[in-house]
Amino acid sequence: MNIYDIATIDGDGIGPEVCQSAQTVLREACASRLRFTPWPGGAAHYAKTGSVLPDETFAACRAAHAILHGAAGLPGITYPDGTEVGNDLHLQLRFKLDLFANVRPIRLYQGVQSPLSGWSAGQIDYVIVRENTEGLYASRGAGVNLRGEVVTDTLVVTRKGVERVARFAFELARRRNGAPRDGQRRVTVCDKANILRSYAFFRAVCDEVAQEYADVAMDYAYADAITVHMLKKPDFYDVIVAENMFGDIISDLGAGTVGGLGIAASAELGEAHGLFQGAHGSAPDIAGQDIASPLATILSGALMLRWLGERHADAALTQAAARVERAVESVLAAAQHVPHDLGGHARCSEITRAVCQELR
Ligand code: IPM
Ligand code: MN
């Protein structure tokens, strides 16, 4: 029976408490199948040592079956160029491990009130697949700064980069049950092909890949227009694929329509590695007070179990993933332990216990 090595990086702010919470739930779900090993990294570590991602941490992440992360970043801890140190932890892992698909489920759970009126649980259920290794982020740390007068970053779109993220999106659509509105398996390409050649190229390569998926409907939405559609017809969407920067922006908007970043899970996947973390930040203002919501990281842990289960044909893990998701759904539906970000007063530890109780 496989034992899976999971490298964990607690990180900064609420990172340690939400990462520990997720491990408690995952142990409850999988008993001894997961071996968690903590590794240092993040802004506070940088402040102490000068390294945001130590070599031994990176080596452990590369060797592990999966990576579970809390959060990273602290205000005021920046590089000389002004960019935040904490974010560099994520970005180094993304680029060095080539985690090209950033998978961000957007789902309205029973018991959670959407700020969009008239939508109930199950009617908003789509996944944003954000290209995670190029686009406008390819320029990070490589932009031009001329005499402090002209500073530029270049948007990079490669054929390989688009092919693989588009194929990932179509394969994901094939595994889902289609959009809530009509049950149609659908991939929506989010771009600005009407304006920029790079996005026209992004769309053209997605179109080429779409030829292989006659069973999945193709849909297009400009990045500005989709922000309106995500509010007015969220049930239309099944899978949305977008360039890195657009994906970063619309995934926060999507999370906002289903309760916020406190419930926003993410799976950052490459050919050989997976990084699982809540899509939220380190929220240093509430760190250490046991009031952060662990749900985003717990749901990211469920995504990790599902990913490991599929990769290793390990049905027990796939089943455990479903049980964790159902336990979270039950806790939310019961509304006895509502996190602060969803309008309640439940403590992180209480929510963790409630999810474990549901698992039992
Ligand atoms: C995200 C975050 C990151 C990003 C930061 C933390 C590097 O906003 O994962 O959405 O900009 O992609
Ligand atoms: Mn973001």
The Cα–Cα gap between 25 and 6 comes to: 14
Looking at residue 109, what DSSP letter applies? P
Q: Are 101 and 213 in contact (CB under 8 A)?
A: no
**Section 90-101 average pLDDT:** 97
- What percentage of residues in the chain have a pLDDT greater than 70? 100
For the chain, first and last CA: distance in Å? 22
109 tagged catalytic: no
Q: What is the pLDDT of residue 237?
A: 99
Stated pTM of the model: 0.97
What is the whole-number distance in angstroms between the Cα of residue 261 and the centre of ligand 2? 10
- Mean pLDDT of the residues in the chain: 97
Mean pLDDT of 192-206: 98
Q: Look at the block and give the residue holding tokens 């994520």.
A: 90
Which residues fall within 8 angstroms of residue 76, CB to CB, at 6 or more apart? none
Q: Which among 320, 242, 301, 311 is positioned nearest to 273, based on CA atoms?
A: 311
Examine the residue annotation and report whether 137 is marked as an active-site residue of this protein. Answer: yes
Largest distance between two CA atoms of the chain? 62
Both tokens of residue 136? 């406008």
**Which two structure tokens, joined as six digits, stand for 56?**
């031994």
Cα–Cα distance measured from residue 124 to residue 138, given in angstroms and rounded to the nearest whole number? 31
Instruction: Give the residue, 2 or 1, on which the prediction is more confident.
Output: 2
The residue whose CA is least distant from atom 4 of ligand 1 is 248
Handedness of CA 11, 154, 98, 307 (dihedral sign): positive
Nearest CA to ligand 1 atom 3: 87
Q: Are 234 and 195 in contact (CB under 8 A)?
A: no
Q: Is the pLDDT of residue 8 over 90?
A: yes
Say if residues 248 and 268 touch (Cβ distance below 8 Å): no
State pLDDT tens for residues 201-246: 999 999 999 999 999 999 999 999 999 999 999 999 999 999 999 9
Residues 137, 199, 213, 237: which is the catalytic one? 137
Q: What mean pLDDT do residues 20-42 have?
A: 97
The tens digit of pLDDT for each residue in 167-180 reads 999 999 999 999 99
Which one of the listed residues 192, 220, 222, 235 is annotated catalytic?
192
CATH 2.40.10.170 applies to domain 1-99+283-360: no
* Per-residue confidence (pLDDT) for residue 142, from 0 to 100: 81
What's the pLDDT score for residue 144? Answer: 87
Task: Give 13's pLDDT tier (boundaries 50, 70, 90).
Answer: very high
According to DSSP, the residues that pair with 217 across neighbouring strands are 186
Binning pLDDT at 50, 70 and 90, where does residue 74 land? Answer: very high
Q: Is 252 a catalytic residue?
A: yes
- The pocket around ligand 1, CB under 6 angstroms, is made up of 87, 90-91, 248, 279
One fold for both 1-99+283-360 and 114-258?
A: yes
> Is residue 133 helix, strand or coil?
coil
DSSP state at residue 84: B
- Size (the chain), residues: 360
Average pLDDT of the residues in 236-260: 98
Ligand 1 atom nearest residue 88's Cα: 7
Structure-token pair, residue 236? 């239309």
pLDDT value at 140 more than 90: no
What angle do helix axes 159-175 and 197-210 make, rounded to 10 degrees? 50
Q: Would you say residue 359 has pLDDT above 90? A: yes
CA of 86 to the centre of ligand 1 (A): 10
Nearest alpha-carbon partner for 180 in 258, 269, 262, 268: 258
Distance CA 324, CA 306 (A): 10
Confidence of residue 358 (pLDDT cuts 50, 70, 90): very high
pLDDT at 81: 81
Q: Which fold, 114-258?
A: Isopropylmalate Dehydrogenase (3.40.718)
DSSP 233-300: -GGG-SEEEE-HHHHHHHHHHHHHHTT-GGG-EEEEE-SS-EEEEESS---GGGTTTT-S--HHHHHH
Residue 186's pLDDT band (cuts 50, 70, 90): very high
Q: Are strands 66-71 and 4-11 parallel, antiparallel or unpaired?
A: parallel
Structure token pair of residue 318 = 């796939």
pLDDT at 83 (0 to 100): 86
Tell me phi and psi for residue 292, to 5 degrees: -75, 155
Mean pLDDT of 180-188: 98
Domain ranges of the chain: 1-99+283-360, 114-258
